[in-house]
Structure 1
């Protein structure tokens, strides 16, 4: 285990060439780097004398030992041993007692929840197969996002259902199933649209994306109360993958 000083630059800028799979962990109080090896462990939390990486030293809402990094089955995993959750990228939360989450190669920022609205940054970086910085690929062809296949009916329903996401509302929410059915009835007055029909379309698409590997589309993945979380996650995936794009709002032009 090598110590990183408080003057070490942000891990977001990369790390020195290292053994493939080496992990770096850094906070305002300094940090460590550890080469990969079965049983390797890094602890982090408020109690500087008893953890490898100190985070939130003066915040009593941060647990004395708030979490662990473990090297198991050929990769690094992060787990929460503290009282408050840890926020990961993509708005994913890790709470005490939940299954550890694997770390991908490269940079991962973690935010340890503290008192009030405070969050304490723990930067992590796992060296890839080449060690240190990933290989530059300036001239390679850009990999397109994974766009999901939708039928014409599914696209229409989801554009109506998620129009506030395509309009870039600050805090978008899906329309209710009943509201969606009413709009569809105006767009296609010769067809019968009900809240149940809308629900079936949304559930079918959600199930297909979940089977395709999208996280957060099943009740057990988001926890209770579910609220609108499943549909919110669905619509965000469709927009972020560019499966649905703002020009799709042209499908609503018949209402103008």
Structure 2
């Protein structure tokens, strides 16, 4: 490894950066261990369940976790993580690194990694890569919170989207969007004089998807997805609107008689 052990008690987490950084250095932290490595070609950090044979122990008491789950290596001027275990490693943005796949480059800054264990347990390893200037992000604890970028919707658009995504807003497990015909039927009950049809519902949804697509939101056009598409376009639409608080659970109050 060629690195330095750090006391895990020194850092509760790595989200706020690290102290005395060297440009390009790697910091890694698990439940009971921490390791820091300065950049050098071929330098590696092995992590997994087998404490005597890895540099950072992860999931020591969980037999679902591989004895060596992965390796972080310094190659081509940067750090890369490779999955050498049996289970995928989950990273931010719904990204998965599977065994046997190409190494994934780690960008400067903070990256949490998760390995699923037994009975729904998830074992977390935090990684922080110092940028080329060696600077850590400044503390912003007393700064004004930036509001999320909420998208503007017409009243009809918002009602259609609440009907479409009501299972998500109700926080049901494995939620899916309602079909266009079902949305049209519920809209006709809510607005009996408005002549709602499944074609009109689709026009409303398509208009909102197009606006968000033009604003850079991914996954909202057929060209971006692989067949069969199914209801993935509307799934991605509801997720995007909820992630920005454009739609929130309180919006269910728009549905008369919703229980």
- TM-score by structure 2 length? 0.71
Q: Indicate the residue corresponding to 1:169 in structure 2.
A: 171
Kindly report the root-mean-square deviation, in angstroms, between the aligned alpha carbons of the 2 structures. 4.1
Deviations 1:202-224 (A, max 9, x none): 45544654565545667999999
**99-108 or 238-247, which deviates more:** 99-108
Count residues in correspondence.
254
**45-54 or 110-119, which deviates more:** 45-54
Please state whether the residue corresponding to 1:193 is helix, strand or coil: coil
Please state whether the residue corresponding to 1:11 is helix, strand or coil: coil
Aligned partner of 2:112 among 109, 112, 124? 109
- For the pair 1:198 / 2:193, whether they are aligned, the reply is no
C-alpha spacing 1:153/1:6, structure 2 compared with 1 (3 Å): closer
Q: Indicate the residue corresponding to 2:124 in structure 1.
A: 121
Q: Indicate the residue corresponding to 1:243 in structure 2.
A: 246
**240-249 or 174-183, which deviates more:** 240-249
Q: Distance in 1 between matches of 2:66 and 2:199?
A: 47
Q: Indicate the residue corresponding to 1:3 in structure 2.
A: 5
Q: Point out where structure 2 has 5 or more consecutive residues left out of the alignment.
A: none
Q: Distance in 1 between matches of 2:29 and 2:146?
A: 31
Deviations 1:172-192 (A, max 9, x none): 543332221111222333444
Please state whether the residue corresponding to 2:118 is helix, strand or coil: coil
Deviation at 1:124, TM superposition (A): 1.7
**204-213 or 146-155, which deviates more:** 204-213
C-alpha spacing 1:103/1:211, structure 2 compared with 1 (3 Å): farther
Q: Indicate the residue corresponding to 1:134 in structure 2.
A: 137
Q: Distance in 2 between matches of 1:20 and 1:134?
A: 13
Q: Point out where structure 1 has 5 or more consecutive residues left out of the alignment.
A: none
C-alpha spacing 1:181/1:74, structure 2 compared with 1 (3 Å): farther
- For the pair 1:179 / 2:182, whether they are aligned, the reply is yes
Deviation at 1:253, TM superposition (A): 5.4
Deviation at 1:18, TM superposition (A): 0.5
